[in-house]
A and B are shown apart, each in its own frame.
Chain A
Amino acid sequence: MYKSPSNNNELDHLISLLSKIPGLGPRSARRAALQLIKKKDVLMRPLANALASVAENVHPCSICGNLDVENPCHICESSKRDRSLICVIEDVADLWALERAGSFRGLYHVIGGTLSALDGVGPDDLNISGLVERASDPELKEVIIATNATVDGQTTAHYITEQLKQFEINITRLAHGVPIGGELDYLDDGTLITALNSRRPF
């Protein structure tokens, strides 16, 4: 239980909210709150304005599920994007990671998680029906499934593949194996087995 250092309800409320942010606990929330108070004009007010603006304006894209101020999002609207490619990802964080890499020029589809029997996440809880709808577009040639290489991620990938079978499109997945800069000695057994099984001519 968080113990108030200040006897100040507003400050306590701020610290309690900050401590709910991923990566921050009560102690780092207190430090963040102090920093904000010390730098009211350069940090606190701009941050408050930015938060209010994002809360007001940022929404999930009705086509791909990306977060943007426009709907459809700037990626779905862009004429420079290859509309014959859709990359299926679990989360917006994955979309940002792929965009950071800058090597994918197609469109995205965020399904919003993975199937998980124990957590009660079924196909209806994910945005898979939207993907099936998009797959009927005659312009689409390939769907790249970029779910995580975990049991849940691959279960979801197989389910999506099953749903897309009816369309005449290529369904591919990301390669799994040795990461760039990875040393074999430090890799786990599963990655090594996958890398060996997916080897290709040099």
Chain B
Amino acid sequence: MEWRDQGVILSSRKYGEYDVILEVLTREHGRHAGIVKGGIGRRHRGNVQPGNEVTVTWRGRLETHLGTYSVELLRARSVAFLYNPAKLAALNSCCSLLCSAMAENEAHEILLDGLLAFLTELEAAKDQIDYWGPLLIRWELGLLTELGFGLNLDDCAATGSTENLIYVSPKSGHAVSCDAGEPYKDKMLKLPRFLTENGVEANIADIKEGLELMNFFIERHMLAPFNKKTPQARRMLMEHIL
């Protein structure tokens, strides 16, 4: 069997002395792994870094086999983030979340487009997290939605109001207005304003709330069913910001 597809490298793990096992988020084949022969070598090592956009050709005897990849670099995106700790932490966080949460060989074209769009914005954004933090949180919200665990942040779960939405119910993932959520405010998750109102600038506190909100639902819906915890890369991103 053989196919050719485009995608973004999610992880690159050493396999034996010379090879690497590459996980790529591809357009038509979803998260797919394969061995890159000689991937450790000088010629390939720079190309097989997480975040790089590549064209891969996969070959294997059966669809279920690990198979081998040959890799052509389309765009060396990872280089843009190597020297900025926060941006590199964001890249690592996105890649490890996709590796942990996505089923293998299940196409999610929208996730690839979302990741490419986010990486493009991240590359262009100023270094401070205020500029790109909200985008990262929106990307995580999109990841939850695409994998079937979307949050409803359009109106209040209790009153239907679209004003003053400042909480999210941990049970339903539905937004809750200030008045309706007041009696349960200790149990509610905080909803940053930039997720419900357009044109609102986010500060560090908002971004922290947003990341904690996403972390709660990512852990509960996407990781806990597989006995997984928040990936180390995402924890490091949170630590970096906090």
Say whether A and B bind each other: yes
Q: Is the CB of B83 within 8 A of A190?
A: no
Q: Is the CB of A155 within 8 A of B76?
A: no
Top 9 closest pairs, chain A to chain B, by CB: A158-B85, A190-B76, A117-B233, A189-B76, A190-B79, A117-B232, A188-B46, A154-B82, A117-B96
Which of A115, A122, A154, A159 contacts B83 (CB under 8 A)? A154
The CA-CA distance from A150 to B121 in the complex, in Å, is: 21
Does A56 interact with chain B (Cβ within 8 Å)? no
Does B6 interact with chain A (Cβ within 8 Å)? no
Given contacts A189-B76, A193-B80, contact A118 B49 (CB under 8 A): no
Q: Is the CB of B236 within 8 A of A190?
A: no
Contacts of A23 in B (CB 8 A): 17
Interface residues on B, range: 20 to 34
- Would you give the 0/1 interface string for A98-126, flagging 1 where the beta carbon is closer than 8 Å to chain B? 00000000000000000111111010000
The closest CB in chain B to the CB of A179 belongs to B42
The CA-CA distance from A188 to B73 in the complex, in Å, is: 9
The chain A residues found within 8 Å of chain B, CB to CB, are: 22-23, 115-120, 122, 149-151, 154-155, 158-159, 161-162, 188-191, 193-194
Contacts of B80 in A (CB 8 A): 193
- Would you give the 0/1 interface string for B221-242, flagging 1 where the beta carbon is closer than 8 Å to chain A? 0000000000111001000100
Q: Is the CB of B49 within 8 A of A155?
A: no
Give residues 10-58 of B contacting A (CB, 8 Å): 11, 13, 17, 45-47, 49-52
Q: Is the CB of B13 within 8 A of A155?
A: no
Contacts of B112 in A (CB 8 A): none
Nearest CB in chain B: distance from A171 CB, A: 12
Q: Is the CB of A122 within 8 A of B73?
A: no
Nearest CB in chain B: distance from A179 CB, A: 9
Q: Is the CB of A155 within 8 A of B17?
A: no
Which of B49, B96, B231, B236 contacts A150 (CB under 8 A)? B49
The CA-CA distance from A68 to B21 in the complex, in Å, is: 34
The closest CB in chain B to the CB of A24 belongs to B17
Q: Is the CB of A120 within 8 A of B232?
A: yes
The CA-CA distance from A151 to B45 in the complex, in Å, is: 11
Q: Is the CB of B46 within 8 A of A118?
A: no
Does B92 interact with chain A (Cβ within 8 Å)? yes
The CA-CA distance from A44 to B228 in the complex, in Å, is: 50
Q: Is the CB of A149 within 8 A of B82?
A: yes
The CA-CA distance from A189 to B46 in the complex, in Å, is: 9
The CA-CA distance from A188 to B71 in the complex, in Å, is: 13
Q: Is the CB of A188 within 8 A of B47?
A: yes
Does B169 interact with chain A (Cβ within 8 Å)? no
Q: Is the CB of B17 within 8 A of A22?
A: yes
Q: Is the CB of B75 within 8 A of A189?
A: yes
The CA-CA distance from A167 to B232 in the complex, in Å, is: 26
Nearest CB in chain B: distance from A46 CB, A: 26
Contacts of B231 in A (CB 8 A): 117
Nearest CB in chain B: distance from A168 CB, A: 20
Does B129 interact with chain A (Cβ within 8 Å)? no
Nearest CB in chain A: distance from B31 CB, A: 13
Q: Is the CB of B92 within 8 A of A117?
A: yes
Task: Give the interface centre of A119, A154, A161, A191 by most chain B CB atoms within 10 Å.
Answer: A154
The CA-CA distance from A161 to B82 in the complex, in Å, is: 14
9 more CB-based (< 8 A) A-B contacts, given A151-B51, A151-B92: A115-B236, A117-B96, A154-B88, A155-B92, A155-B233, A158-B85, A158-B88, A190-B49, A193-B79
Contacts of A154 in B (CB 8 A): 82-83, 88
Contacts of B75 in A (CB 8 A): 189
Contacts of B91 in A (CB 8 A): 151
Task: Give the interface centre of A22, A116, A117, A120 by most chain B CB atoms within 10 Å.
Answer: A117
The closest CB in chain A to the CB of B240 belongs to A162
The CA-CA distance from A116 to B46 in the complex, in Å, is: 17
Given contacts A149-B82, A151-B91, A151-B92, contact A190 B46 (CB under 8 A): yes
Does B153 interact with chain A (Cβ within 8 Å)? no
Does B89 interact with chain A (Cβ within 8 Å)? yes
